[in-house]
Amino acid sequence: MSEALSSPKAPARWQDFFQLLKPRVMSLVVFTALTGLVCAGRPINPVLGAVAILCIAVGAGASASLNMWYDADIDAKMRRTRGRPVPSGKVQGADAVALGVVLSLFSVMLMGMALNWLAAGLLAFTIFFYAVVYTMWLKRSTAQNIVIGGLAGALPPVIGWAAVTGTVPPNAWLLCAIIFMWTPPHFWALSLYTSEDYEKAGVPMMPVVKGPASTRRQILIYSVLLIPFCVAPAFTGLGGLAYLIVSGLGGAVFLLLAWRLFRSQAGDAADPRNTDGLYDVRAGARDARNLFAFSILYLTLLFATLLVEHLMGLTPLEWMS
C-alpha cells in the first residue's frame, strides 16, 4: 500500500523512526494509563509500575507505526499528515512495519513476564484493534470509524489497572467508558474544520458522509451522553469531592460549548485559513475549535484530578455506604 510512496529521499535518522511512534499521542496514553495504575489502589513495586507504563507507551507507539505504514497513501493527501516520515519519504514503509511488529512483540512479552498476562493480553488486543480493526478496516469504510475505533484509545487505563491488580473491575471500565464517549465529540469537532482534507483523502469522516449539520447534532447527543459517565466516578468510590466539582463544572462548560456548536454554522463552508494549525480557524469554525480545545482540557483535568486525589490519599466520596 505504501511502497510507492516510500522510496527514501534522505537518509532516515533515528528521530524519524521516533516520529513513527506518535510521541504526542504516546504521552496522552502514558497519562491515562498512569491514572488507571494509580487508581487501582494497590501497592506495586515502583520499577514494575514504570515497566508497565513503558510497555503501554511502547505498545501505543508500535500501533502508531503500523498505522503510519498502512495510511501512508491517505496521509500524503492531507496537509496535517503529509510531513509524516513514510509519506514524506524519510522512512520506508517496510521499515515502519518492522518497527511496529518488533515493538509490539517486545512490549506485550515484557508486560506478560514483568506484570501479568491479563494486562499483556489487553495490550495485545489494543494494538490489534488500533492497527487492524481501526486502521485497516473501519477508518476507510464507515463514518462510525472513530466511534468504534475510539476503544483503542480508551483501553490504556484498563491496562494500567490490570497491570497492578490482575483484574479489571467496573471502575476500570468506567475510566475506559469516559474516554470512549469523549472521543466522538472531540474528533468530530476537529473534523468539522478539517473535513476538506478528509474528503480529499477519501476518509469517510462524519462531516464528509452525513454533512456538518448532522455532525453538529451528533456531537451534542454524544456530549449529553458523555457527562454522566464523567461525573459517575464521584458516585462509585473512585473520585472525591474535588473530582465531583471538576467533572460537574467542566461538564457544564462542555455542554454549553456543544450547544453553541450545534447552533453554529461550523463546517458549512470550507476553511481556507486552516493550513497547518488546529487552532487557527476562521470565525465560522470557532465554535468547533473551542469545543475541540476544551475537550482536551476537560479530559486532562478529569484524569489529573483522579490522579492527584489518589496520590494524596484523599478519600473518595462514600455515597453508597
Partner 1 sequence: MNQPVREDDTFARARRGRNIAIAVGLVLFVALVYVVTVIKMGANVLDRAL
- Closest to partner 1 by CB, 45 vs 275, is 45
- Binding residues for partner 1 restricted to 29-48, rule: CB under 8 A: 45, 47-48
- Closest to partner 1 by CB, 92 vs 135, is 92
Angle between helices 46-70 and 117-128 (to 10 degrees): 20
Q: Give the span between the Cα atoms of 23 and 66, in whole angstroms.
A: 14
Please, what is the minimum distance in Å from the beta carbon of residue 16 to partner 1?
9
Torsions phi, psi of 35, nearest 5? -60, -45
The owner of cell 489497572 is 161
Q: What is the per-residue binding string for partner 1 in 47-66, x denoting contact by CB under 8 A? A: xx--x--x------------
Please, what is the minimum distance in Å from the beta carbon of residue 11 to partner 1?
3
- Binding residues for partner 1 restricted to 95-154, rule: CB under 8 A: 106, 110, 113-114
Give the CA radius of gyration of the chain.
Answer: 20
- Closest to partner 1 by CB, 10 vs 320, is 10
Q: Give the span between the Cα atoms of 140 and 257, in whole angstroms.
A: 29
Please, what is the minimum distance in Å from the beta carbon of residue 155 to partner 1?
23
Give residues with Cβ within 8 angstroms of 234, minimum separation 6.
240, 241, 243, 244, 247, 316, 317, 319
Please, what is the minimum distance in Å from the beta carbon of residue 27 to partner 1?
19
- Closest to partner 1 by CB, 17 vs 125, is 17
Instruction: Compute the residue count for the chain.
Output: 321
Closest CA to 5 of 61, 71, 65: 71
- Closest to partner 1 by CB, 49 vs 204, is 49
Q: If binding is defined by CB under 8 A, does position 11 make contact with partner 1?
A: yes
Please, what is the minimum distance in Å from the beta carbon of residue 9 to partner 1?
11
Per-residue H/E/C for 225-237: HHHHHHHHHHHCC
Closest CA to 227 of 212, 203, 248, 196: 248
Number of residues that bind partner 1 (CB under 8 A): 15
Torsions phi, psi of 221, nearest 5? -60, -50
Would you give the DSSP letter of residue 310? H
User: Quick one: which segment of 5-13, 197-205, 208-216, 276-284 binds partner 1 (CB under 8 A)?
Assistant: 5-13
- Closest to partner 1 by CB, 52 vs 238, is 52
Query: Contacting partner 1 (CB under 8 A), which of 12, 25, 232, 308?
Result: 12
Please, what is the minimum distance in Å from the beta carbon of residue 51 to partner 1?
6
- Closest to partner 1 by CB, 47 vs 312, is 47
CB neighbour class for 15 (10 Å; exposed up to 12, middle 13-18, buried from 19): exposed
Q: Give the span between the Cα atoms of 234 and 231, in whole angstroms.
A: 6
- Closest to partner 1 by CB, 114 vs 151, is 114
Residues that bind partner 1 (CB under 8 A): 10-14, 17, 45, 47-48, 51, 54, 106, 110, 113-114
